[in-house]
Structure 1
Amino acid sequence: MQPSRRSQRSLDWLNFFVADVQTGFGPFVAVYLTTQAWSEVQIGFALSLGTLTAMLSQVPAGMMVDAAHDKRRMALLALVAIALSAVLLAAFPSRLPVLTSEVLHGFASCILNPSIAAISLALVGREALGERLGRNARYASLGGAVAAGVMGLIGTYLSSASVFWLTAALTVPSLLALSRIRAEDMRVVRPQTAAREGRFRDLLADRGVLVFAACAMLFTLSNAAMLPLAGAAVTRVTGEEANLIIAACLVVPQLVVASISPWVGRLAQQRGRRLVLVLGFSMLPLRGALLALVEQPYALVLIQALDGFSAATLNVMLPLLAADLTRGTNRFNLCMGFFGLCVGIGATISNSLAGLVSEWSSPSMAFAMLGSVGLLCTLLAALAMPETRPVEPAR
């Protein structure tokens, strides 16, 4: 049974508005707290608390979503919690409410993302999941790009707090889109046998899970620090023009992700997962090499387009591989949580390691190091990752 057009389009808009909501909790938090006379140490502690909460919540949140019968209700609760965290930030910019907001947002995000992936799986089934995830990534990228521009404008011309009032308001269309996904269009995904329900340690015994987890960690270890490192170098050369260059570097990859994500999903369905992983991950060493060699500031925008190719790959393939590797079990979201934990670990290490190499040697050497990690990630996917595409489409 094919899901209705209404449910499919509602899921598209859910991804669009959820990306709008999540954009408000990016760099805007640091800007807002700075206007409230918070010190850099205090801001760093608050942001680190949110990051740590998100990392520690990945696996428990995945288990909660797996255990929930109604995935839409889990997404609803997560959106309400995110709205509450935005209101706390906007209305009470003091220590305890802000820290509570960061913890609440970190945990709610870990519930929301796997819930949307589970809704996608229930709507289209495993045989069409790749293309559906591509559509999710397209609308999320468009939503993130639009929200970044709008929030930047209202934060500049109204107030920094208005960003978070808008964030809370945007949960309303998100909830409306969620409510329009019809329950009768969603398939019940059950494990084939009780013996295959498994536990967390069973995931850790699966070669494919371990290899892709290592790839996810190496990917973000290579990728996360590239733009911040390049941004620091550009700022030293161009001064205030750096804001325009960095803004373009954020928007261009989003547009690339929106353009190619459905194609990435279709290619994974038609030609296999490993081919897509190798193609997407190979952008990392290429990008690292170009950033190490090219010194023209505006060339950074073109180089950052490569980030769109690799980001589209990870955005689509992470939930798709989680679905492949947990086929016949009820551990889809637990697997996604484990992969998300590995992504968080890689991102945490990346900036510190790149900063140390840049300080001890040079930015070019730091880019070379990050590119080498990306090459290792590509080789691991090519040589060790098993192909997980089903031999025959599910009937």
Structure 2
Amino acid sequence: MVFDFVAGLRTHFGAKACTVVALSTYPYALRAVPVYMDVVCTSYGCHFRLAVSTEGPTSELDYPTATQDCITPTATTTINSDPATNLITAPELQSSSTPPDVSDRRTKRATWAILFLSFFIADVSAGLGPFLGVFLQEHGWGPGLIGTVSTTGGVVAMLLTAPMGALIDATTYKRSLAAASTIICMGANVLIFLSPSATELVFVAQIIVAAAGVALMPVMVALTLGVARQKGFHTLNGRVQAVNHAGNMAEAGLGAILGSRFGMGAVFYLSWAFGLVTLVSIALIPAGAVDHQAARGLEKTNAGRGGQAAATDQQDHQSQPQTHPHPQELGEEHAKAWKMLIQCKELLVLGAALLAFHLGNAAVLPLYGQAVVAAHKAEPASFTGVTVVVAQGTMVIMSLAASRLAVLHGVGYWPIILVSFCSLPVRTVLAGTFIESWGVWPVQVLDGIGAGLQSVATPGSVAQVLSHSGRVNVGLGAVMTCQGVGASLSPVLAGWIAQEKGYNISLYVMGVFPMVSIALWVGFIKILRKPNLQSEQESE
């Protein structure tokens, strides 16, 4: 009778018609249990589903609309029969506790919220960035001491990166962690603003910024992975990184304008404004849209995408060991991170290459800005802002290009990272030779090429290597720790060389370290060159 009714609908409405019919409290099979049925007629044919319900549909959300892809258009629909009740149920309803249309809306909202968050969070996680060096230079700090305070913060970040990755893997309160870190960073910037001449206080504040900010970018990667899952991660991560660089560019441009007009103190107010919007963006991410299993690199293949997110999120919040990780467990995860780094040759080579690269790269931007300002070739705030705007604008383009090349065109991440390594030696030669205001263009375009490519390729490579391991954030934390070692040592090394030998020599020396990265990357090509990523469209 039911099948005759469905066939009649198809005959009556035609192949191109699309409608939804719900039959409530329809007695079916051997038991008079109320059920409801949705019938969708599309150009692909007539599809329907039956679901057990003791009350029938209770709201509009129980019914799909004609424009929603609640049922995949196929020639036939597989129907499961429950032997316990002799009732027919639809497999897609069994696998999800959340209606597909609701979960899809929640996923879209989470995606937009993450993009907004990535736009504003960069300024918070980096503190004042290159503006800090110029700000302290105005208050009598020398290049050596400026490099030392930057290195101090970098060392703290380096020590906390791997444990923070373990914490992010273990906790389901990722949004709360991001919000707390943002508030702490904002408070530490207040200390620097109020007492720039108090050396000890500035050091303490920079340590606080580093300790809190180290969680922000890894938790961003985890949220992206938790919302997009492994299949959609590489594409969404490319967009997130592009928006992140655009946020850096906007903050730097506004900082340059406000700093040149009202003084460097205006940059602090801008940073606090970005921090407040960051908190709002975090609050806009629906908790149910984040699959905490997928966020750590695990996938459940027997469930739908949207519904499983809500189910997993609810289960994870009910799981006390994951929600409240014990310090001993975090210590074990930290040890596992280093064990994973040592045992996994791909991660070990990647970490060593990034260490050498950032040992030369991290100091170039602030050092070049200080060199031009010290030579009286540019106004401090405006020039520093231009250096960031040029670099971040290039990073936006390169991060999108990296995502497209790696995923859609199947290039993979190995050549992308190699190009990023090759950009630094050329950049340091130009920076050491042309300490002029116009030199910011070639120097910072090359900076954007290297950093933009790595912002996508580094987390993408780790996620690819550790796919289905459940340790993506731990592994990423270990790799980022290696990167942090180089980045933390770079400012103090370059700063004291500049103070003793001059800015030119210091910049030239920074160009030696990426040659080590290139040698490692090319020398271990056999273990690094994995099969290319397939197109997400093909895999889906």
TM-score range normalised by the length of the shorter chain: 0.7 to 0.9
For 1:224, give the aligned amino acid: A
Q: Which residue is 2:177 aligned to? A: 74
Q: Which residue is 1:144 aligned to? A: 248
| The structure with more helix, counted as a fraction of residues | 1
Corresponding residue to 1:172 among 269, 276, 289: 276
For 2:166, give the aligned amino acid: M
Corresponding residue to 1:250 among 388, 411, 417: 388
Verify the 8 A CA contact 1:288 1:368 in the aligned structure 2: yes
How far is 1:66 from its partner?
1.3
State the Cα deviation string for residues 160-194 of structure 1 (Å, max 9, x = none): 5554344334322212222222333333326479x
State the Cα deviation string for residues 70-110 of structure 1 (Å, max 9, x = none): 32222222222223323444567767765553333211111
How far is 1:390 from its partner?
6.4
Larger mean CA deviation between 41-50 and 106-115 belongs to 41-50
Q: Which residue is 1:277 aligned to? A: 417
Q: Which residue is 2:403 aligned to? A: 265
| The structure with more strand, counted as a fraction of residues | 2
Q: Which residue is 2:8 aligned to? A: none
State the Cα deviation string for residues 347-375 of structure 1 (Å, max 9, x = none): 23334555676788786665554434323
How far is 1:309 from its partner?
0.7
Verify the 8 A CA contact 1:75 1:112 in the aligned structure 2: yes
Note the aligned Cα RMSD (angstroms).
Answer: 3.6
**Does residue 239 of the first structure (1) align with residue 376 of the second (2)?**
yes
Structure 1 SS opposite 2:511:
helix
Verify the 8 A CA contact 1:23 1:147 in the aligned structure 2: no
**Does residue 124 of the first structure (1) align with residue 228 of the second (2)?**
yes
Structure 1 SS opposite 2:352:
helix
Verify the 8 A CA contact 1:217 1:346 in the aligned structure 2: yes
**Does residue 387 of the first structure (1) align with residue 529 of the second (2)?**
yes
Corresponding residue to 1:338 among 457, 475, 478: 478
Structure 2 SS opposite 1:4:
helix
Higher relative contact order (CA 8 A, sep 6+): 1
Give the 3 Å change call, closer, same or farther, for CA 16–204 of structure 1 in structure 2: same
How far is 1:24 from its partner?
4.7
The size of the alignment, in residue pairs, is 390
Verify the 8 A CA contact 2:378 2:437 in the aligned structure 1: no
For 1:25, give the aligned amino acid: L
Corresponding residue to 1:181 among 281, 285, 291: 285
How far is 1:259 from its partner?
1.9
Give the 3 Å change call, closer, same or farther, for CA 229–88 of structure 1 in structure 2: closer
CA distance in 2, matches of 1:32, 1:361: 23
**Does residue 58 of the first structure (1) align with residue 198 of the second (2)?**
no
How far is 1:211 from its partner?
0.3
CA distance in 2, matches of 1:45, 1:289: 24
Q: How does 1:281-360 map to 2 (within 5 A)?
A: 281-291=421-431, 298-354=438-494
Q: How does 1:208-247 map to 2 (within 5 A)?
A: 208-231=346-369, 234=372, 239-241=376-378, 243=380, 247=385
For 2:344, give the aligned amino acid: D
Instruction: List gaps (5 residues or longer) in structure 2.
Output: 1-102, 301-332
**Does residue 13 of the first structure (1) align with residue 112 of the second (2)?**
no
Q: Percent identity?
A: 25
For 1:305, give the aligned amino acid: V
Verify the 8 A CA contact 1:61 1:107 in the aligned structure 2: no
Larger of the two Rg values belongs to structure: 2
Q: How does 1:85-104 map to 2 (within 5 A)?
A: 85-90=188-193, 98-104=202-208
Give the TM-score taking structure 1 as reference length: 0.83
State the Cα deviation string for residues 99-149 of structure 1 (Å, max 9, x = none): 553333211111111111100111112233222222122212221122123
CA distance in 2, matches of 1:291, 1:102: 27
CA distance in 2, matches of 1:100, 1:293: 36
State the Cα deviation string for residues 15-58 of structure 1 (Å, max 9, x = none): 111123345532444565677x6866987765554333222211
Larger mean CA deviation between 283-292 and 322-331 belongs to 283-292
Give the 3 Å change call, closer, same or farther, for CA 149–23 of structure 1 in structure 2: farther
Give the 3 Å change call, closer, same or farther, for CA 21–355 of structure 1 in structure 2: closer
Larger mean CA deviation between 279-288 and 206-215 belongs to 279-288
CA distance in 2, matches of 1:360, 1:44: 13
CA distance in 1, matches of 2:152, 2:510: 26
Give the 3 Å change call, closer, same or farther, for CA 294–47 of structure 1 in structure 2: closer
Q: Which residue is 1:106 aligned to? A: 210
State the Cα deviation string for residues 196-237 of structure 1 (Å, max 9, x = none): x9912133211001100011111112323334554465456x
Give the TM-score taking structure 2 as reference length: 0.63
Structure 1 SS opposite 2:215:
helix
CA distance in 1, matches of 2:187, 2:115: 24
Structure 2 SS opposite 1:202:
helix
For 1:310, give the aligned amino acid: G
